[in-house]
A and B are shown apart, each in its own frame.
Chain A
Amino acid sequence: MTAGPALDSPAALARALATTGYLADTGLATAGYLALKLGRPLFLEGEAGVGKTAFAQALAAATGSTFVRLQCYEGLDAAQALYDWDFPRQILHLRAAEAAAAATGNRPDAETLEAGLYDRRFLIARPLLQALEQSPCVLLVDEIDRADDEFEAFLLEVLADAAITVPELGRIAAATPPLAVLTSNRTREVHDALKRRCLYHWVEHPDFDREVAILRSRLPEVTDRLAAQVATAARTLRGLELIKPPGVAESIDWAGALAALGARDLDPDAAAATLGAVLKYREDVERVRTTGLDALLATAS
């Protein structure tokens, strides 16, 4: 961790994150600080669109580390998460050695041939190996609940040792263990053994002032007035029991869409034209239209 001022308190980390454009609240800043200080993985949960992924990116920028992302899905295995041998190039190497041997008449030395075959340059690093090799590094394991439980056990092992063993090459260890950020959408319960190693934080929707500040910092072209109106309307929408309540990501999109249309105010016409940026289900759009956009905006102005 090199760049910037010393991150010696949660407040200092929050300031460093703010310079990268991510405004974290006390809880999240404390979680990030503890993860750095204790060297523990951070397990983040929360509604979709509250900024879990963005937090990991901001953390990498704030600490001057590389950012590596591993998106989980069902059937994810070691060859896709860890490393893979580049078989075509290995075979090419073998054939070239053979051809050279035939031309010169020298018998190839078995040992050199083998060492050449399993050289580091034939190893393709997948996200977990990249994270170990490029330290310091923030490793984002996104949506861990989508992977199956076999993968969890395997991830636990890599995180605990901060090293992996490639049978043909030997042990590859990280100079500094990567700072791991795991996110989950709770589609299934993640195994307790993995959670026990992690610090746990539930990411909340930001409060009104913070949301306005986020909109202003992300979209400098949006006026204070428009940002405040969008934040208020987003809060109202979150209270409507919609199928998909808008997260911060959606309110940023919405404010961006309004600004792109040149709107200086959130009036019913502008809102109707840009509703698709904030509501992603037909049922939700219909519901808001029938309750009336005016009602939504009445609280906003």
Chain B
Amino acid sequence: MSGDRSKIVGARADVVAAIVGFARTLRHAGVAATPDRVVTMLTAVEALGGSTAAVYWAGRQSLCAEPDDLPVYDAAFRAYFGGERPFRGHGLPVTPVLPSVAAPFTGGPPPPAGEDSDEVPEILALSASPVEVLRQRDFALLTAGERDEVRRLVALLGPGTAPRRTRRRKPVRGAGEVDPRRTVRRLLRHAGEPSRLERRRRRDKPRRLVLLLDVSGSMTPYADALLRFAHAAVRRRPTLTEVFTVGTRLTRVTRPLRHRDADAALAAASAAIPDWHGGTRLADSLGAFVDRWGRRGTARGAIVVVCSDGWERGTPDALATQLDRLSRLAYRIVWVNPHRGKRGYAPLAGGMAAVLPYLDDFVAGHSLSALEELVTVLGRS
């Protein structure tokens, strides 16, 4: 290591300065190196001594929290302590961003001048219908003003999944299985006299929701609305929703989408996606999802939503194989294809025809009303 900073490590005050500076670099690069973690790193460095390797391991084990952090950490460490050029990664939004303001869409041009006052009811009727028109309109055909309004309305959707019974039990009054523990406890409290039987029942919890969004070139007109839909889902159930983008590769965007503000979340997610508007290797990306996440448990018992037009560069067979693997893990698979909303569409294209047997639901998702339908489908058990 040839940098100036590597020499500083060894003197107490300078160590602190160097490490705090390094943590700041790391935060800019997108690793959540919080102050308490920095304190841990300082104590760890003290315990290990000041050699470069010691600082490397101390920092890696105290500042990182998941495997995605490790490559970023390695690059930042090389840059900071190795005296390379300043490292710039795709950061998470760290500074608070003001919530975006979208003016309500009133629709239509202002009423022509010179109208009589007794025509007011008609204007009211006119201003109601554009929203209805907007609900049905294809995302690809929106004007800029309409797009803002649609974004606002998508943010209001709260996609939630139907509940499943968990293995955790809760005490209930009335019907339910006998809870021996609480019954005996009660019995002991009453000096060993049997009294009422206490009962318990298994608790319900919403199913996990996994969204796999195709961000390849052919899905460009719909990617924004679908990502916003995903943001609404993550905001509704932050710990039970996972979002990935598929294109030429698999990218997990759950973390950036947790940001409260939709625009900031989307900006962070976009920065994390390396294959925006690129080609499609759907089978490979889905395979990567099943291998790296699905089989370990993310897809088990979950409702998996794939948003894609099914246009695939690989063979339909490869896609069918991956869907088969996924369908053995997931509780339900919902496929969202924007072309389904178009008149005269039939799922005949190679990829789509091959995956149809594995789907539980096949919906459109090309317009606001179609997304509302998707919300209903997800809530159905």
Contact = CB atoms under 8 A, between A and B. Distances in A.
A148 B166 contact: yes
Interface in B169-197: 169, 180-181, 184-185, 187-188, 191-192
Given A187-B297, A188-B297, A95 B61 contact: no
B166 A74 contact: yes
Nearest to B45: A34
A94 B40 contact: no
Given A74-B167, A185-B296, A196-B36, A34 B188 contact: no
A58 to B, nearest CB: 18
A30 interface: yes
Contacts of A195: 65
Interface in B50-83: 53-54, 57-58, 60-62, 64-67, 70
A85 B180 CA distance: 12
B65 A192 contact: yes
Nearest to A186: B296
Nearest to A42: B61
Nearest to B67: A202
B308 interface: no
A185 B297 contact: yes
B168 A149 contact: no
Given A26-B53, A243-B291, A189 B239 contact: yes
B156 interface: no
Contact of B188 (A37, A77, A91, A196): A91
B167 A75 contact: yes
A117 B188 contact: yes
A241 B48 CA distance: 38
B43 interface: yes
A200 B65 contact: yes
Nearest to A45: B67
A149 B239 contact: yes
Contacts of A146: 297
Interface residues of B, number: 44
B70 A202 contact: yes
Contacts of B48: 10, 30, 33-34
B328 to A, nearest CB: 12
Interface in B183-228: 184-185, 187-188, 191-192, 205, 208
Contacts, number: 109
Contacts of A26: 53, 57
Contacts of A189: 66, 239, 254
Contacts of A185: 296-297
B297 A196 contact: no
B37 interface: yes
A84 B185 CA distance: 11
B57 A30 contact: yes
B330 to A, nearest CB: 14
Contacts of B57: 10, 26-27, 30-31, 34
Contact of B40 (A27, A38, A85, A90): A38
B300 interface: yes
A195 B187 CA distance: 41
Interface in A35-68: 37-38, 40, 45
Interface string A78-110: 010000110100110011001000000000000
A191 to B, nearest CB: 8
B37 A196 contact: yes
A195 B181 CA distance: 33
Nearest 5 CB-CB pairings of A with B:
A187-B297, A75-B167, A87-B184, A30-B57, A75-B168
Given A185-B296, A188-B208, 5 more contacts: A34-B47, A34-B61, A75-B166, A90-B188, A187-B296
Interface of A: 10, 26-27, 30-31, 33-34, 37-38, 40, 45, 73-75, 77, 79, 84-85, 87, 90-91, 94-95, 98, 117, 145-146, 148-150, 185-189, 191-192, 195-196, 199-202, 241, 243
15 contacts: A30-B57, A34-B57, A38-B40, A73-B167, A75-B166, A77-B168, A94-B191, A94-B192, A117-B188, A185-B296, A187-B298, A200-B60, A200-B64, A200-B65, A202-B64
